[in-house]
Structure 1
């Protein structure tokens, strides 16, 4: 968690670990997800690497094991994140989405990536819609943000489709290869949602 910001989530407050959307399931990563998650990231490397600073190099199984171990120890994780795998009814990893407590008081951020073989099917939009509703229903949370680089048209389409308001476009550090250095900050407020 960013030590310069106040935490948005009060101790003991967290979203559910499992969210069933019928044909999609968002659930907390489990130890048995190690290889499927690794395979999904590996298959999608060229697709997601341009936008993900944490994927500067191909992931190793050991790095994924360390991530999985951290996710298994607490909910939210020590950095204030609640990370979900997105699965279909057969249990195939379609991508990942998370709620991150790193923005500041009363605000959570949603981040996501989609498996390259499952883009263009609404997987991320539906998952982000569900997490937005859940996040805004949490005590003490009034705002949810989705942040992306201005050049990442696919990522920006998600908050646009969901009715988020584009709060600002501002300079930001380039951390991934395709980034322009201009960040889009999309916001959804509690009053904009039925909770």
Structure 2
């Protein structure tokens, strides 16, 4: 696994993490059709919880997003965005590391294709990013933020051994939000979670 260096002399996470049957890879502009199809199929599933899914995706919007991700590592807003792919190249979700907590921490955000929920895909991808990010010399903590009502999202950090460090009121940004935010954090990583059905 290769770790590069940014123009700010800080190590950056690798652009590709191979888990065998799953691949986390930096988005490319050539992923447009597959990413757009996955987001379109999953829009009704994502909209209740994701502020960015308020409107259905558009090809033009996703093209801009992919161009941004392909041109910058991290993006200007401090994000490392990965697609989650099967061995055959199908898009089954997305995951990212976000530089919006503090200089020694990164936040993990994720979404799953509606046809692939309940298979442990996001837990395995989040585990891989947790492990990877904690090898970066300036990072000592990973966080996952979610609404308290989003049971599926909260199950991921719980399964990975993250500690619930905060439960507090926050603005509602998506239709199903309760207005109570949960912050989960870890400074270490447990063994990889088992695959679904194992």
Q: TM-score, normalised by structure 1?
A: 0.92
Per-residue CA distance 1:8-41 (angstroms, 9 max, x = gap): x954421000000000000000111001101100
In the other structure, the counterpart of 1:6 is none
Rounded Cα–Cα distance in structure 2 between residues aligned with 1:187 and 1:133: 13
How far is the alpha carbon of 1:104 from its aligned partner?
A: 1.0
Q: How does 1:54-133 map to 2 (within 5 A)?
A: 54-133=52-131
Question: 1:185 is paired with a residue of what secondary structure?
Answer: strand
Q: How does 1:1-195 map to 2 (within 5 A)?
A: 11-190=9-188
Higher relative CO (Cα under 8 Å, sequence separation at least 6) belongs to: 1
Is the 8 Å Cα contact of residues 50 and 178 (structure 1) preserved in structure 2? yes
Is the 8 Å Cα contact of residues 10 and 140 (structure 1) preserved in structure 2? no
Using a 3 Å threshold, how does the CA distance of structure 1 residues 158 and 193 change in structure 2: closer, same or farther?
A: closer
Uncovered stretches (5+) of structure 1, i.e. residues with no partner: 1-8
Rounded Cα–Cα distance in structure 2 between residues aligned with 1:51 and 1:175: 8
Question: 1:184 is paired with a residue of what secondary structure?
Answer: strand
Rounded Cα–Cα distance in structure 1 between residues aligned with 2:9 and 2:177: 35
Question: 1:97 is paired with a residue of what secondary structure?
Answer: strand
Uncovered stretches (5+) of structure 2, i.e. residues with no partner: 1-6, 192-198
Is the 8 Å Cα contact of residues 49 and 175 (structure 2) preserved in structure 1? yes
Question: 2:134 is paired with a residue of what secondary structure?
Answer: helix
Rounded Cα–Cα distance in structure 1 between residues aligned with 2:186 and 2:130: 8
Rounded Cα–Cα distance in structure 1 between residues aligned with 2:150 and 2:181: 9
How far is the alpha carbon of 1:85 from its aligned partner?
A: 0.3
Matched residues, number: 185
Q: Over the residues paired in the alignment, what is the CA RMSD in angstroms?
A: 1.4
Q: TM-score, normalised by structure 2?
A: 0.90
The structure carrying a bigger helix percent of its residues is 1
Per-residue CA distance 1:139-180 (angstroms, 9 max, x = gap): 111100000000000000000000000001011110000000
